[in-house]
Structure 1
């Protein structure tokens, strides 16, 4: 943390939990069964600040920054991107939860966090009671959909996955401009209006750090290579998610690019339900009431 930032979780504890060589920066609070919340790109745990108070009335929330994001430690780059694979992150996060005393837990993930979430549910099926994925389809499905139209919609997948250091240098030339364009362009209204000033202040702070820009690019390089291979291996072997899955997507979000997102998720789990919510990609901030209602109903049912 480079300067004093607004506290968006004033009643929550701050913990640094070291698991599998990663120091996870976590905000923890609430009461009840554990609910792990994982954020996506280009954000951190602060994405949950609008809905955390409601969820914390029913659950003990654990909100870490993913490796390389926010204030968690930055994994080293490797030639095969294994340290940024969702399998490696899922293993580390499962260990983090064990160290906090939670062998089993509910899990909700947005964007990249949802990719960690479904990988964790596949690799550690005894750990996840129920899974919610927000505005994504599985990684291999996105890559297999990559025609002209879909490529234009998620151009950043190909851009960020380019070899080091090309995307890093391009983003670092104007990191705030890139960040704010990216955030606004994925909302339904194509503005920054849904993001609170405090959340934007947090995000600008860490996203301007060159090592973290590089870490987020490595995340996408892993998605284009080792994560894709892991997904395909599971599909070829017929492995599915044993936990129930709730898929939520924005009516103007990225996952709405396919006609029936639930049909895609049914290939990954026999127990899937879900629906579109109003807004674009950033459901916890664009549709906080609807997102909180859906999560409370699903995990509390």
Structure 2
């Protein structure tokens, strides 16, 4: 049986034509939407969500293309654009009765949250991003030998066919590699949750690749257009990151300050899967974020 977030109800919510998201909802109060990363599902938020649900309505969807959500074929190169996936989240919140909401994302989910904050500033009151840089910045800093850490970005950026074939041939080994490599505490992801992540990823290879391929194409174009137009995140922003900026020779906080005026940038000592490895630290950061005054 697939693990569940205790006390949360799971449902499917239509967000676009022929696209419904699998979402776990719990608690009561002002809404907080939590977006998962790779190679995970909404289950990565199980500890954080349970805490926040004490005084918030907590909404944990599987992104389109992941977990129990629909996985449409990419017909135009924009099916998995972060702009499209961000629109899903705004539609999801609206369908659940919330016009404005706080948004936190990890990894891939943080890229969706970033895009939602830029495209829908009237809907997103607060924004948290865990262990990622904006898409444009990620490509700018991944160079030389240091780029080896992001080999999967380059693999999945290739034209349709080769990445799907290669990853599909050894899906558990591929996705399991990242679960092992990026965690500083192997016990933070118990075996039943790990099995759920691997199964969900194994069943979603084409859509996961399409998500990453968009990050090398249309998502970069959208970020570049926003940078030229001077668009910035207007809401309070909190970023939690490992100190991998120092390891790769760049200032991660400065990269984020280029996009956000009201920024709280924090460095954590745990591994990449911080919502599972250090949930108390993540909860505190989100609660501190929610206590800041949103932009008018």
TM-score, normalization by structure 2 = 0.94
What is the correspondence of 1:95-174 to structure 2 with a 5 Å cutoff?
A: 95-174=91-170
Give the equivalent residue in structure 1 for 2:275: 284
Say whether residues 1:39 and 2:36 are aligned partners: yes
2:285 alignment counterpart: 294
Q: Which residue of the partner structure matches residue 217 of structure 1?
A: 209
The C-alpha deviation readout for 1:257-283, integer Å capped at 9, x for no partner, is: 454321111110111112111212111
Describe the superposition over 1:146-188 as per-residue Cα deviations: whole angstroms up to 9, x where unpaired: 2113311111100111112211111122211111111111223
Q: Check whether the contact 2:237–2:289 (CA below 8 A) recurs between aligned residues.
A: no
- For structure 1, the 5+ residue unaligned runs are none
Q: Which residue does 1:274 correspond to in 2?
A: 265
Give the 3-state SS of the residue equivalent to 1:168 in structure 2: helix
Is 1:71 the counterpart of 2:68 in the alignment?
Answer: yes
Contact kept? 2:238, 2:263, Cα under 8 Å: yes
Contact 1:254 1:280 in 2 (8 A): no
Q: Which runs of 4+ in 1 moved over 4 A?
A: 253-256
- Alignment match, 2:232: 240
User: Equivalent residue for 1:228?
Assistant: 220
**Closer, same or farther: CA 255–126 of 1 in aligned 2, 3 Å:** farther
The CA deviation string for residues 69-99 of structure 1, in whole angstroms up to 9 with x for no partner, is 00000122124x1111000111121111111
TM-aligned CA deviation for residue 28 of structure 1: 0.1
SS in 2 for 1:23: strand
Give 5+ residue unaligned stretches, structure 2: none
Which of 187, 190, 199 is the equivalent residue of 2:193? 199
Question: How many residues are paired up?
Answer: 291
C-alpha RMSD of matched pairs (Å): 1.6
Report the TM-score when normalising by structure 1: 0.92
Give how far 1:293 is off.
1.6
Q: Which moved more, 1:290-299 or 1:108-117?
A: 290-299
Residues 38, 110 of structure 1: 8 Å contact kept = yes
